[in-house]
């Protein structure tokens, strides 16, 4: 054996030893993420990938507390119109650029000003950003804005490399450069997104994988089959009906977390003239009768195999911001019939639009059957999702089965839905008193005062019923039992930090 071949042999031994310890985490996603640019991104599933790719100023813990990530501490000014952030030292982006106050300023301005930015609304109250020193930055607000910190735990708080962003312009999403634990390797649309460990990550002790591969597999049964046959280590959003089948298998574990979003039925009460054309949109008594004809627990049992918590508000009953003054109404067919009689429409009919997902269709059909018992003639209209959103936006619907993935701060589930003329206010709900209360809740700096305001808002919403909230799904994660260190954050986004194979 000559020296060259000996070296080769040694080298290959080293390589194979490294190969043995090189670990890949393979994650099955329920959808194909959209563009990987935190400013432009608009899907829930994309946020799962971002959590490995891009660090944020703040993060959430399992109890929805806001914890430091790239910002180590914060301080509000006395009038709550300025937020000063101290930044973590020694953080670099994947291209080696330094993370500092100038980078934060660049990113927040990019979120606010870039054409087509989806973050503009979330950061609207931020009027300007000042670089105080290299590690300190100050956000100036037009008015106090309670949800701001929570907003910074999501895409609006994600920091990308200013140099890379300037160089790539509008094409940054094709090859994102952030400061998260993993950096971008490649993406094959609809097939996989591959990330590799970033060796200079500031918190590298928490990272135990060399690669993360995200694979979109739309069909829930196939996603699960991949987990069971060993092609994947982790899948998000398993089908509730598959839970019993997997429970007996000790090779796998299931985690469930109550989502911060909700599933509900949005009712057109003022979005367009159509609201006046059917008794449901016209008469609050009919809406009350409709709600009373629903048995939420049965809906959850039948449509979701029990994998959801019943609810009646934009946050779940276990959430600290839940308004306890409005409990979940019980099913009351007799009262519902009486209300319909009083309204002069014993057999009101309306069309219930539903996206074509199997969950939504099941909900619609169960609701239809339940409402029938009180006299409602519900016509289910299954509509492809994009079309249904457009019809909702134009107010060409009576009622709409619609889910919201939820935001860490309750404002993200409330403001855009119930404040007058806001983009997600498909119901067309517009009440000056409610607007006033919502605005005060956004400016409220004292949590107790804020909760009081939520209770007042809820009292209105529960009576006017622009949305009849039904339940809060469980995020169902299934994974290989070898995997430990999983953090179950209610936003439904997988955190790779501390995750490892035993």
Partner 1 sequence: MFKFLVQRLATIIPTLFFVSILIFGLQQLLPGDPATALAGEDHDPNVIAYLRAKFHLDEPVYMRYFYWARGVLHGDLGESVRIQKPVTDLILEKLPVTVQLASMAIVIAIVFGVSAGILSAVKKDTAWDYAANVFALWGLSTPNFWLGILLIMLFAVKLGWLPASGYVSPFEDLKGNLAAMIMPAFVLGNSFAAVLMRHTRSAMLQVLSADYVRTARAKGLEERVVVLKHALRNALVPVITLGALGFGELLGGTVLTETVFSIPGFGKLIVDAVFNRDYSVVQGVVLFTATVYITLNLLADLAYFLVNPRMRG
Partner 2 sequence: MAAVLTATDALPRELTPAQRALRRLARRRGAMVGLGCVVFFVLLALFAPWVAPHDPLATSWSAVRQAPSAHYLFGTDEIGRDVLSRVIWGTRASLLAGLVSVCISLALGVPVGLAAGYLGGWVDALISRITDAMLACPFLILAIALAAFLGPSLTNAMIAIGISATPIFVRLTRAQVLAVKVEDYVEAARAVGNSHLRIALRHILPNVVAPLIVQATLAIAAAVIAEASLSFLGLGQQPPAPSWGSMLNTAKNYIDNAPWMSVWPGLSIFLLVLSFNLLGDGLRDAFDPRHK
Q: Kind and range of the H or E element at 252? A: strand 252-258
170 with 160: CB under 8 angstroms?
A: no
- Pairing label, strands 308-310, 349-355: unpaired
Sign of CA dihedral 393, 459, 339, 283: negative
Q: Is 263 in the site for partner 2 (CB under 8 A)?
A: no
Distance CA 234, CA 75 (A): 38
Distance CA 422, CA 440 (A): 16
Q: Please name the residues in contact with 440: beta carbons below 8 A apart, sequence gap of 6 or more.
A: 453
Options 75-83, 204-212, 360-368, 439-447: segment touching partner 2 (CB under 8 A): 360-368
Task: Name the minimum Å distance from CB 27 to partner 1.
Answer: 13
Name the residue nearer to partner 2 (CB basis): 61 or 377.
Answer: 377
DSSP state of 116: T
Q: Torsion over CA of 47, 51, 54 and 58, rounded to 10 degrees? A: 100
Options 71-79, 117-125, 382-390, 429-437: segment touching partner 2 (CB under 8 A): 382-390
Pattern of binders to partner 2 over 225-244, x per CB under 8 A?
--------------x-xx-x
Task: Name the minimum Å distance from CB 107 to partner 1.
Answer: 18
Options 202-210, 225-233, 369-377, 438-446: segment touching partner 1 (CB under 8 A): 225-233
Q: Is 187 in the site for partner 1 (CB under 8 A)?
A: yes
Selection from partner 2, partner 1, none that 84 binds (CB < 5 to 8 A by kind) is none
Distance CA 33, CA 29 (A): 9
**Which among 487, 502, 394, 500 has a CA at the least distance from the CA of 67?**
487
Name the residue nearer to partner 1 (CB basis): 102 or 389.
Answer: 389
Q: Where are the alpha helices (DSSP H) in 351-384?
A: 358-372
Among residues 200, 349, 361, 416, the one that binds partner 2 under rule CB under 8 A: 361
Main-chain phi, psi angles of 394, to 5 degrees:
-85, -5
Q: Is 104 in the site for partner 2 (CB under 8 A)?
A: no
What the block records as the tokens of 256 is: 């469930």
Q: Is 249 in the site for partner 1 (CB under 8 A)?
A: no
Task: Name the minimum Å distance from CB 31 to partner 2.
Answer: 16
Three-class secondary structure of residue 218 per DSSP: coil
Options 115-123, 136-144, 306-314, 447-455: segment touching partner 1 (CB under 8 A): 115-123
Selection from partner 2, partner 1, none that 405 binds (CB < 5 to 8 A by kind) is partner 1
Q: Is 211 in the site for partner 1 (CB under 8 A)?
A: no
Q: Print burial letters for 1-30: b (CB count within 10 Å at least 16), e (below 16).
A: eeeeeeeeeeeeeeeeeeeeeeeebbbbbb
Name the residue nearer to partner 1 (CB basis): 184 or 202.
Answer: 184
Three-class secondary structure of residue 24 per DSSP: strand
Bridge partners, residue 28, by sequence? 215, 235
Binding site for partner 1 (CB under 8 A): 32-37, 40, 42-44, 115-118, 120-121, 170-174, 187-191, 215-219, 221-222, 225-226, 228-231, 384-387, 389-391, 393, 404-405, 416, 423-424
For binding to partner 2 (CB under 8 A), which residues are involved? 219-221, 239, 241-242, 244-245, 298, 301-303, 354-356, 358, 361-362, 364-366, 368-369, 379-384, 387
């Amino acid at each position: 054996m000559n020296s060259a071949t000996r070296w080769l042999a040694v080298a290959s031994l080293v390589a194979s030893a490294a190969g043995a310890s090189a670990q890949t985490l393979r994650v099955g996603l329920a959808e194909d993420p959209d563009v990987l640019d935190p400013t432009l991104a608009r899907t829930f599933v994309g946020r799962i990938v971002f959590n490995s790719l891009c660090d944020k100023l703040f993060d959430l813990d399992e109890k929805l507390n806001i914890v430091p990530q790239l910002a180590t501490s914060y301080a509000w000014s006395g009038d709550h119109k300025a937020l000063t952030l101290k930044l973590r030292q020694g953080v670099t982006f994947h291209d080696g650029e330094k993370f500092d106050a100038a980078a934060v300023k660049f990113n927040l301005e990019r979120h606010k000003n870039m054409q087509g930015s989806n973050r503009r609304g979330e950061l609207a109250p931020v009027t300007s950003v000042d670089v105080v020193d290299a590690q300190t930055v100050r956000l100036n607000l037009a008015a106090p804005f309670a949800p701001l910190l929570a907003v910074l735990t999501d895409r609006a708080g994600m920091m990308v490399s200013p140099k890379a962003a300037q160089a790539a312009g509008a094409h940054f999403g094709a090859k994102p450069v952030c400061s998260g634990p993993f950096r971008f390797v490649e993406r094959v649309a609809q097939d996989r997104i591959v990330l590799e460990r970033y060796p200079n990550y500031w918190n590298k002790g928490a990272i135990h994988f060399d690669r993360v591969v995200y694979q979109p597999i739309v069909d829930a049964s196939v996603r699960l089959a991949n987990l069971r046959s060993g092609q994947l280590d982790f899948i998000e959003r398993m089908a509730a009906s598959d839970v019993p089948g997997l429970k007996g298998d000790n090779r796998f574990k299931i985690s469930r977390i109550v989502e911060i979003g909700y599933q509900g039925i949005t009712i057109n009460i003022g979005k367009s003239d159509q609201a006046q054309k059917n008794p449901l949109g016209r008469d609050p008594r009919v809406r009350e009768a409709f709600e009373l004809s629903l048995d939420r627990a049965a809906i959850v049992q039948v449509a979701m195999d029990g994998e959801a918590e019943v609810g009646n508000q934009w946050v779940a009953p276990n959430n600290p911001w839940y308004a306890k003054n409005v409990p979940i109404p019980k099913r009351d067919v007799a009262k519902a019939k009486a209300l319909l009689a009083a309204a002069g429409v014993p057999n009101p009919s309306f069309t219930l639009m539903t996206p074509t997902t199997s969950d939504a269709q099941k909900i619609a059909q169960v609701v239809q059957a339940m409402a029938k018992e009180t006299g409602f003639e519900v016509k289910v209209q299954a509509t492809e999702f994009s079309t249904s959103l457009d019809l909702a936006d134009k107010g060409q619907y009576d009622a709409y089965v619609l889910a919201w993935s939820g935001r860490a701060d309750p404002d993200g589930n409330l403001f855009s839905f119930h404040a007058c003329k806001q983009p997600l206010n498909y119901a067309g709900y517009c009440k000056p008193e409610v607007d006033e209360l919502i605005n005060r809740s956004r400016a409220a700096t004292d949590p107790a005062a804020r909760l009081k305001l939520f209770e007042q808002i809820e009292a209105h919403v529960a009576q006017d019923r622009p949305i009849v909230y039904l339940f809060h799904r469980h995020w169902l994660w299934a994974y290989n039992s070898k995997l430990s260190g999983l953090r179950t954050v209610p936003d439904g986004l997988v955190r790779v930090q501390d995750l490892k194979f035993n």
